[in-house]
A and B are shown apart, each in its own frame.
Chain A
Amino acid sequence: MKILCPVKRVLDPYVKVRVKQDNSDVDLANAKMAMNPFCEIAVEQAIRLKEQGHASEVVLVAVGPQQSQETLRTGLAMGADRGILVKAEPAPEPLGVAKILKAICDKESPDLVFAGKQAVDGDNNQTGQMLSALLGWAQGTFVSKVEVHDDHFLVTREIDGGLEQLKIGRPAVLTADLRLCEPRYASLPNIMKAKKKPIDNYTPEDLGVEVGHRLTLQKVEEPPARQAGIKVDSVGELVDKLHDEAKVI
């Protein structure tokens, strides 16, 4: 089985986002970037499936600016076999990314696409579902457990109110939730080895995909600031304030 993992380069989730002064967008100049944490989880799971003998090859795909190559190297250092960079700037919307990934799937014929459930910049949670729709494949989203069988995947999904088990026909698109697995750190020798692993380069035009933008970003703002609160000295005072002042209990 061949597994394809889309990976996205995003603002490091532990860095505080800044909004540009003219409210045109967030300010990513000189900001620390990293692999989207949900993509890391998907890559880790794909590599584990390879280690368990379920997969023969793990191929990474990044869609975005040239620097996304660093994100591919990170995944290759974790243990993926090769990378594909589709250079597209500005970064396409989820629909555009899904169309590009569809074209890559047509070329590569993977048995499984393992993506993250959402990217922590746009917080859209759409690309995996859209790719699955375009391919006409089954989808398993918010996956926290996966078992590989001959003609299907048995997945556990995190849903509102608990967990759900589904039998997902192959081929399929699965999207990783937080608790699927703990991503590994790349060792120094593996980081060195990753530099020699191949990365193919494409543009959307090479793939025959037109990536238009459907949404216009009109404004980006800071969230409304909360008024500074007060510190109380005792539980009694806290309860009094909640009861008499805030009137919430």
Chain B
Amino acid sequence: MSVLVITEHDNAALTTGALSTLTSARQLGDDEIHALVVGHGCKDAADAAAKVPGVTKVLLADAPEYDHRIAENVTPLLVDLAKNYGHVLCAASTFGKNVMPRVAALLDVQPVADIVAVVAPDTFRRPIYAGNAFATVKTGDPIKIVTIRPTAFEDAEAEGGNASVETLSGTGDQGLSSFVGQELTQSDRPELASAKIVISGGRGLGSGDNFQLLERVADKLGAAVGASRAAVDAGFVPNDYQVGQTGKVVAPDLYVAVGISGAIQHLAGMKDSKVIAAINKDEEAPIFQVADYGLVADLFEAVPELEKEIDRVK
């Protein structure tokens, strides 16, 4: 059997979520790995997918109705294609979560969401209850539709392969919904989900302006800035900064939690980080139970000092 990987891209290159999904595909032992690149004006992304080692064929579906990859328009294409495969994979991004269940329902398949490990070609490990337990589930469906937690798999190499690109025709606009606009958060820092270092702030920061303290440290470390739900709900930072069960799941080399108490919903999003450092003035804060290095201190004194100390060791 073959595996179909639905790859996300920015029209030019694959996202890191797509690359980690390709890594998971290589663990399934299928004969062939086909990468689907769907969108509008995305020929370059298909060429990029063709260079990923292990990919045996790239399917390019480039049509106006796939612009912004609206679920209703992409679904007929995916349903048609999926029938030829043993596995259909996608990253558990907002795109993957939006589209894959829609495809699965039309194929009468119960998908397996957000897996962190491939146990066997039909058996997967996935977090439940906000990562407070892990379930191993075996699927009996003939087509296995699976979404992948990107932080749980290494990114596949971007160069070295040489797959052929096959062009598919569009399936037409379904006329159910249409794109109106978007507001993307502008940032020069690395993307939160793939950054090596993440520094996050919580309610303890007190205001949005105070996030500048963290941003200065982040710039010194080449880190991404994240936030707890409390900080987002208080309006300190936009929602896409949020780390946790309902936000992004990160697993950087270093996670610095500043003024974050450590509610289970937040821990679900960051406890797979390699090293966790926490700065909090409450020594009873639950974050200290998962932190490798904890400092009980007032963040307004500690963070500016942190900035200076980083200069000293760098």
Binding site for B on A (CB under 8 A): 11, 13, 16-17, 19, 26, 93-96, 98, 120-127, 129-134, 137-142, 144, 154, 157-169, 172, 177-179, 214-223, 226-236, 238-243, 246, 248-249
- Please tell me if the beta carbons of B110 and A231 are within 8 angstroms of each other in the complex: no
* 8 Å CB contact of A215 from B95, B105, B112, B283: B112
Query: Within the assembled complex, what's the spacing in Å between the Cα atoms of A180 and B295?
Result: 36
In Å, the complex CA distance between A243 and B253 comes to 12
The 8 Å CB contact of A17, one of B109, B133, B138, B141, is: B133
Q: Which residues of B contact A235 (CB under 8 A)?
A: 295, 297, 302, 305-306, 309
Q: Are B292 and A229 closer than 8 Å at their CB atoms? A: yes
Pairs of residues from A and B, 5 with the lowest C-beta to C-beta distance, nearest first = A130-B105, A129-B101, A214-B110, A126-B101, A138-B176
Verify B246–A239 contact, CB threshold 8 A.
no
- B135's partner among A219, A248, A249 (CB-CB below 8 A) is A219
Question: Is A240's CB under 8 angstroms from B313's CB?
Answer: yes
Q: How far is the CA of A163 from the CA of B197 in the complex (A)?
A: 24
**Interface SS, B side:** mixed
- A248 contacts B253, C-beta separation under 8 Å: yes
Contact partner of B93 (CB less than 8 A), chosen from A158, A160, A177, A229, is A160
Binding stretch for chain A, among B18-26, B151-159, B272-280: B272-280
Q: Is B291 an interface residue (CB 8 A)?
A: yes
Cβ-defined partner of A94 (8 Å) among B110, B180, B239: B110
- B100: A residues at CB distance < 8 A: 129
Beta-carbon nearest neighbor of B301 in chain A: A235
Can you report 13 residue pairs joining A to B where beta carbons are below 8 Å apart?
A: A16-B264, A125-B113, A127-B101, A137-B176, A141-B98, A158-B240, A159-B240, A179-B232, A220-B133, A232-B295, A238-B295, A239-B313, A242-B254
- Give the complex CA separation of A239 and B41 in angstroms: 46
Question: Which B residues fall within an 8 A CB radius of A?
Answer: 68, 70-72, 75, 93-95, 97-106, 108-114, 123, 127-141, 175-185, 193, 197, 221, 229, 232-233, 238-240, 245-246, 248, 253-254, 264-265, 271, 274-277, 279, 283, 288-297, 302, 305-306, 309-310, 312-314
Q: Which residue of A lies closest to B297 (CB)?
A: A235
Q: How far is the CA of A217 from the CA of B103 in the complex (A)?
A: 23
Contact indicator B97/A223 (Cβ below 8 Å): no
List chain A residues, Cβ under 8 A from B238: 162
Bound CA span A240–B293, Å:
11
Nearest A residue (CB) for B187: A161
Residues of A within 8 A of B246 (CB): 177-178
Determine if B245 and A246 form an interchain contact, defined as CB atoms under 8 angstroms apart. Answer: no
Do the beta carbons of B309 and A229 come within 8 Å of each other? no
Taken together as a complex, chains A and B put the C-alpha atoms of A178 and B245 apart, in Å, by 11
Q: Is the CB of B94 within 8 A of A218?
A: no
The answer to whether B183 touches A120, judged by C-beta atoms less than 8 angstroms apart, is no
Tell me if B110 and A230 are in contact (CB < 8 A). Answer: no
- Docked-complex contact A159 and B293, CB < 8 angstroms: no
- Cα–Cα distance between A126 and B264 once the two chains are bound (Å): 22
Tell me if B292 and A246 are in contact (CB < 8 A). yes
Q: State the Cβ distance, A10 to closest chain B Cβ, in Å.
A: 9
> Which residues of the partner chain B approach A230 to less than 8 Å between Cβ atoms?
292-294
